[in-house]
């Protein structure tokens, strides 16, 4: 049954030229996808290149959010429950904060309950100081998602699992059309 479902998904992916990413509990690591920590590393590195902080170019806007959430949790969460925020939580923070900024008639209702603390300026493309506002946050969030999807597509195109996790292989499901449409860099 699983083999049939996998083959059907593979055919659909190729026909629609879509990429299917199977994630959860480390299941996709065998197929070349990054771990939870790997995703955070990918996003942090990408943000370092494009969104370095103006006051400290050795850190990025992504790391700023990660460190700010971590510091808040260390102050408010019992030690035995503390952990590093995941990339999903950082992405949520970025998009939620973007929604709290006043934006005329497009202002989110969330802004009635939450206000944004001052955010650090970034060194925009290494050329000028840029204040982080709702537009920068939205672009930053989209950039992070695009970076992640691009890395997933490249990993899927390179995917050659050493063996299936069960008696059948889902190798056709993951790469879909990515093998033919994406050249690994």
**Cα separation values, 33 from 99, 158, 165, Å:** 30, 10, 15
Mean pLDDT of 150-171: 60
Mean pLDDT of 154-164: 62
CA 118, distance to chain mean position in Å, is: 23
Confidence of residue 108 (pLDDT cuts 50, 70, 90): confident
Taking the C-alpha atoms of residue 137 and residue 130, their distance in angstroms, rounded to an integer, is 12
Q: What's the pTM?
A: 0.72
Task: List the domain boundaries for the chain.
Answer: 1-30+161-185, 33-158
Instruction: Please give the biggest Cα pair distance in the chain.
Output: 57
Residue 129: CA count within 13 A, CB half-sphere: 7
pLDDT, tens digit, for every residue of 47-105?
Answer: 999 999 999 999 999 999 999 999 999 999 999 999 999 999 999 999 998 888 776 66
pLDDT, tens digit, for every residue of 7-53?
Answer: 555 665 666 666 555 556 677 777 777 888 899 999 999 999 999 99
DSSP class per residue in 104-156: TBT--GGGGT--PPP---EEETTTEEE---HHHHHHHHHHHHHHHHHHHHHHH
More confident residue, 29 or 182: 29
pLDDT > 80? residue 166: no
Please give the angle made by the CA atoms of 140, 143 and 149, to the nearest 5 degrees: 145
The residues, ordered by sequence, that sit 6+ positions from 10 with a Cβ below 8 Å of its Cβ are: 172, 173, 176
């Amino acid at each position: 049954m699983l083999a049939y479902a996998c083959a059907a998904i593979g055919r659909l992916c190729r026909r629609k030229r879509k990429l299917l990413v199977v994630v959860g509990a480390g299941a996709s690591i065998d197929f070349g996808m990054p771990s939870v920590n790997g995703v955070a590393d990918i996003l942090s590195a990408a943000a370092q290149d494009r969104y370095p902080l103006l006051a400290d170019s050795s850190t990025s806007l992504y790391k700023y959010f990660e460190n700010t959430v971590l510091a808040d949790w260390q102050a408010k969460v019992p030690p035995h429950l503390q952990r590093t925020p995941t990339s999903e939580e950082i992405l949520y923070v970025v998009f939620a904060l973007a929604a709290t900024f006043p934006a005329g008639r497009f202002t989110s209702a969330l802004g009635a309950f939450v206000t944004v603390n001052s955010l650090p300026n970034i060194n925009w493309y290494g050329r000028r100081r840029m204040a982080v506002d709702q537009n920068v946050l939205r672009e930053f969030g989209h950039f992070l998602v695009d970076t992640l999807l691009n890395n997933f597509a490249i990993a899927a195109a390179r995917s050659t699992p050493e063996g299936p996790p069960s008696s059948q292989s889902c190798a056709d499901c993951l790469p879909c059309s990515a093998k033919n449409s994406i050249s690994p860099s």
